Amino acid sequence: MTMAMWDATFLQRHTPDGAFADFDAVLDQTVERGYNVVRLDPMPQYLDLSDPDRTIAFADPRPREGYRPWFFDRPVSGPMVRWLDEFMAKLPERSLHYTLSSWWRFDATDETKVIAKPHTHVEAADLWLRFLEQWSERYGFDRLVCVDIHNEVPYFLPDFRNRIQRETGSDWSGPSFSPALIDFLASDINEAMDRLRRAFPQLQFTCSIHGDTRWLDVPVELDCLDVHFYADADPRWVARTRFDHFMGHGMFQRDDWFAEFSRRCGDAHRAIGPMLRARQRAKLFAFAGWARQRGMPLTTTESWSTWYYFDHADLDWSWLLEWAEWSVQDAIDAGMWGWTPHNYLQPQFEQWQDVDWHQRLTRTFLRS
């Protein structure tokens, strides 16, 4: 599978002048570039599929977050279930499949529109149960590859990391997972998976994770394994690029650090690029072995270099794209079932227009 991360952006930018204004055009472009699976966040925390005319609104982020690569980039309001209806009618007309995922973002303007705010995977599963019943009635499950009930555990379920601290006494940033933390994660995630499987035995369920090798000690029962491998897992890259500093001081809000960050990324890539690749490749193979051992097909729907970048005169994409090109052969060698070159496969990015580049990489992966 060649996979593109769209998440909620496909609805939140479905405005007359938005990147996803024309679903037909974007879907055709996706097929043309060689991608066959799109990752969608249908916002189960907001969308009630039984109430299609219900309006969801998001305020203009630009006064506060003018450098946001994904999600909504301007005010948007509308009957998003109707927009989803339009999209789901068009997708099956192409050679495309989809996955469902959730960031659990609570940033709509009207807090009364929140259907539920889960704090554990079991609570998230309960909301997904209701949502998937509606999905089955409205769209069916044809072309649905898998359901990711929490994108990048533990980062986006409300208060989940604080709950880990309270219930296990463990800090997520420690060098290894404590026995209490391992038991907590396995218990919560596995119970959530069991509830969903009992209700929908025909579907595949997962929770996506970072390429953090501490997970290899957690006996999670996932149907498939979506792992996100990023450069900030390597302290040599973080130190050279000052990634943590920049992400903590102006991500989405300022561009005065872009030039220095870009220069540092290029310098790091030239200085130790092969070493960074070697360590990331070893980590990929460790997860590939775990996936085979536990019977979980290995995919990635976002990965490889930096998880934050933006179209800007001060940001050079050449190093990022070279890293993406490395990833194809590494994914093939690891036996991945699904791969993506980077997490910027959306039409608002200038790089989306380089059709030949996308075709060359997707063709290589699919022909393997």
The reported pLDDT for the residue numbered 65 is: 85
Tokens for 298, please give them: 């290995």
Residue showing tokens 């192409």 = 94
Give the pLDDT of residue 85.
Answer: 99
10 Å CB burial of residue 10 (0-12, 13-18, 19+) is: buried
Angle at 16 between CA 62 and CA 25, to 5 degrees: 115
pLDDT of amino acid 111:
87
195 to each of 152, 189, 205, 254, 363, how far by Cα in Å? Answer: 20, 10, 10, 43, 38
Check residue 158 and give its pLDDT: 96
pLDDT per position in the chain (368 positions), as tens?
A: 999 999 999 999 999 999 999 999 999 999 999 999 999 999 999 999 999 999 999 998 888 888 889 899 999 999 999 999 999 999 999 999 999 999 999 999 998 899 999 999 999 999 999 999 999 999 999 999 999 999 999 999 999 999 999 999 998 988 899 999 999 999 999 999 999 999 999 999 999 999 999 999 999 999 999 999 999 999 999 999 999 999 998 788 999 999 999 999 999 999 999 999 999 999 999 999 999 999 999 999 999 999 999 999 999 999 999 999 999 999 999 999 999 999 999 999 999 999 999 999 999 999 99
Q: In angstroms, rounded to a whole number, what is the distance separating the alpha carbons of residues 204 and 66?
A: 37
First to last CA, the chain: 11
Three-state secondary structure readout of the chain: CEEEEEECHHHHCCCCCCCCCCHHHHHHHHHHCCCCEEEECCCCCCCCCCCCCCCEEECCCCCCCCCCCCCCCCCEEECHHHHHHHHHHHHHHCCCEEEECCCCCCCCCCHHHCCCCCCCHHHHHHHHHHHHHHHHHHCCCCCEEEEECCCCECCCCCCHHHHHHHHHCCCCCCCCCCHHHHHHHHHHHHHHHHHHHHHCCCCCEECCEECCHHHHHCCCCCCCEEEECCHHHCHHHHHHHCHHHHHHCCCCCCCCCHHHHHHHHHHHHHHHHHHHHHHHHHHHHHHHHHHHHHCCCEECCCCCCCCCCCCCCCCCCHHHHHHHHHHHHHHHHCCCCEECCCCCCCCCCHHHHCHHHHHHHHHHHHHC
Alpha-carbon distance of 54 to 185, in angstroms, equals 35
* pLDDT of res. 224: 97
One-letter amino acid of 122: V
CB atoms inside a 10 Å sphere around CB 173:
6
Instruction: Phi first, then psi: give them for residue 107, nearest 5 degrees.
Output: -130, 15
Could you give all domains of the chain from N- to C-terminal order, each with its CATH number?
A: 3-367 (3.20.20.80)
Dist CA 123 CA 366 (whole Å): 37
pLDDT at residue 324 in the model: 97
State residue 68's pLDDT score.
87
